[in-house]
Amino acid sequence: MTQNLTGQSILAGVRTAGNGREVHGYNPATNQPLEPAYSLIDEAQLKIATAAAAEAFTSFRALEPAKHADFLDAIAANIEAVREELVARAMAETGLPEARLNGETARTAGQLRLFANVVRTGDFHGARIDPALPERSPLPRVDIRQRKVPMGPVAVFGASNFPLAFSTAGGDTASALAAGCPVVFKAHNAHPGTSEIVGSAITKAIEEFDLHPGVFSLVYGPGASIGQALVSDPVIKAVGFTGSRSGGVALMETAAKRPEPIPVYAEMSSINPVIFFEGALADPEAQAKAYLGSLTGSSGQLCTAPGLVFVPAGGAGDAFVAAISGNAPSHSGQTMLTAGIYTSWVAGVEALGAQEGVELVGQGTEGSTENAPAPRVFASGVQQLNENPVLQDEIFGAASLVIRYESVEELDSALSKLEGQLTATLQLTEADYAQAAGIIPTLELKVGRILLNGWPTGVEVGHAMVHGGPFPATSAPQTTSVGSLAIERFLRPVAYQNFPEALLPKPIAQANEWNLNRLVDGTMTVAGE
């Protein structure tokens, strides 16, 4: 498995040993180190990557659509070509099961192909044309045209919980590359080998298409110092991050204090409320099993895990809680991603369990490996939730809190006091529609995605998906990090006034050589019509 791993960063296509200390990936099921050791770069070496990204930007942003799209497809194919080695290494570094990682590999390749099609279609250029109106009275209008241009090199940080789909060639990298932005990727030190395998696949595609090697760099470095240096570098024009609230806020503060502040697209903290109406509790046993399945999948280490569940007071709610208590022992703990995440989970569970008015209502069993704690479900009431901010703290792992509510009015009030979330889920029947309609406006102000009669774990990658939400779910609630709309994060509009045809960029030139859909004088003009 390690024969092709070098333990080195890839700085603009060049394997480079770091000048700093060495780190290992660890098998979280055994707490044993994995070879090879990875040497960490220093800030001077980081400058090699960012300077190369700046050099690459001019040619990369000017790629013809066909070559640009084919490049993204080639990355996907290169990743699929090393699937066996990749999945084996990711299993060793994360403790995640083979089926989950095979699915994540497919999702990673699928995201890249989705953005390849986005590039081919070209709607992301946002072409708008207001033709000149020289005879308009009282004042004529000059010709004004608009398109979106890439912002520049992007810093992307690997996520701990998705070693593939939110990592080296994950959604942030794929959308930035699709926008025409070179990427400097900071690998997560918990899965360095996985990152190197994928980084090699991207580098191979760059070589195959004879692109500037600065289009992509993979760096290993101390999280705080190199991460902060990367965000501070004047070459970097935007940041993609998935991780803790503290980590995301630290990057946001650094980016805001730069002489030229830049946007940070950080996905951070969410407890994803699930709201049960009484009609949905006709079969409490089935609902409890579905809830526990969603909570414990991937050891609860999903950003959309149901960490908060609202259940009505009364007999139906009592039966649901009883079913949780009865079914929880059949759920064994699964290996968590790292010993550090396990330690944080233990601290979070102990803090929640110690709060006044909170009781343990369901507990699974310890897993057979290291770092595999028994899942926990607690219960409390609306008053405690409203008055105690600890009850809103995210516990990253298989732990959740059930809140009993007395009325829809009390429920709506509690929802209005929640922090921003990625998702909210309504469990209901048609008989509950009238009550649900009253709280949907509240949820629209709190979350990025509202589900009916499902579970929030599992995020479809497509054109309509929103994976975002108000702070602290994300730092930029007007955007999404999943789906084709994610490309918008790394673009900005530019208007061209009174330009001759010879100087107009192709997306807004009169000839429409790229055959784009364009908004002409307020009316959508469809390519080919």
How many Cβ atoms sit within 10 Å of the Cβ of residue 43?
Answer: 17
> At 483, phi and psi to the nearest 5?
100, 170
DSSP label at residue 482: S
- Match 């730069």 to its residue by tokens: 258
How many Cβ atoms sit within 10 Å of the Cβ of residue 498?
Answer: 9
Inter-residue contact 185 to 217 (CB < 8 Å): yes
Inter-residue contact 455 to 250 (CB < 8 Å): no
- Match 């364009």 to its residue by tokens: 518
Q: Which tokens is 47 given? A: 């400058």
Classify residue 233 as left (phi > 0), alpha (psi -120 to 50) or beta. beta
Which runs of consecutive H residues, i.e. helices, occur in 264-355?
284-296, 315-327, 339-353
- Is 181 among the residues known to form the active site? no
How many Cβ atoms sit within 10 Å of the Cβ of residue 84?
Answer: 11
Inter-residue contact 98 to 91 (CB < 8 Å): yes
Catalytic residue among 55, 278, 303, 410: 303
Please tell me the distance from the alpha carbon of residue 268 to that of residue 11, in angstroms, as a whole number. 28
Inter-residue contact 169 to 115 (CB < 8 Å): no
**What is the crossing angle of helices 433-444 and 408-416, to 10°?**
10
Catalytic residue among 55, 93, 196, 267: 267
Residue 518 C-alpha from the chain's centroid: 30
Side-by-side strand order, sheet with 491-497: 491-497, 144-150, 128-130, 518-520, 523-525
Residues assigned a catalytic role: 267, 303
